[in-house]
Amino acid sequence: MTNEYRKTPEAISALTDLQYQVTQRDGTEPPFRNAHWNNHDPGIYVDVVSGEPLFSSTDKFDSGTGWPSFTRPIDPEAVTTKTDWKMILPRTEVRSAIADSHLGHVFRDGPRDAGGLRYCMNSAALRFVPASDLQAQGYGAYRRLFENTQKENAS
């Protein structure tokens, strides 16, 4: 796998209807009925369109909302934000930097000890790469995020 992350017509055509609705039409999937809200396995979450690394399970927490929630992105430059006025009050929309995929929203009600932010993401916008598969899938540079976890589990 290459580290060249980009949005291609082939990637768009490979999306499921729900993935397309969420990433390309700014949709939202149902809470508690999505792939990653209750995933507790170590690994990273990448943009389903471009493969760009976005979030790590080391920054994931149970927000009780029914969507995967993170305290921060892997790299602040991996996401962009903009004001979303679709609800009565403005929200901050989160998009992937490279493919411009709609991911979800960020709120200021996350864990205070981790910065206070809650990146509430749609599972349909993310592909999970287990820590044990990072090297094989071309994300070996991110193994360092899990080295302490793997040592602790071995003892």
Catalytic residue among 44, 98, 120, 145: 120
Distance CA 86, CA 144 (A): 39
- Reply yes or no on whether 50 is catalytic: no
3-state secondary structure labels for all residues of 83-113:
EECCCCCCEEEEEECCCCCEEEEEECCCCHH
Residue written as tokens 């927490």?
61
pTM over 0.95? The answer is: no
Identify whether the C-beta of residue 102 lies closer than 8 Å to the C-beta of residue 24: yes
Tokens at 148, concatenated: 């302490």
Tell me the backbone φ, ψ of residue 141, rounded to 5 degrees: -60, -20
What residues contact residue 11 under an 8 Å CB cut-off, 6+ apart? 49, 50, 99
Which pLDDT tens digits describe the chain residue by residue (155 residues)? Answer: 446 899 999 999 999 999 999 999 999 999 999 999 999 999 999 999 999 999 999 999 999 999 999 999 999 999 999 877 666 678 899 999 999 999 999 999 999 999 999 999 999 999 999 999 999 999 999 999 998 755 444 44
Distance CA 97, CA 119 (A): 15
Say which CATH superfamily domain 9-154 falls into. Peptide methionine sulfoxide reductase. (2.170.150.20)
CB atoms < 10 A from the CB of 94, how many?
25
Distance CA 47, CA 133 (A): 16
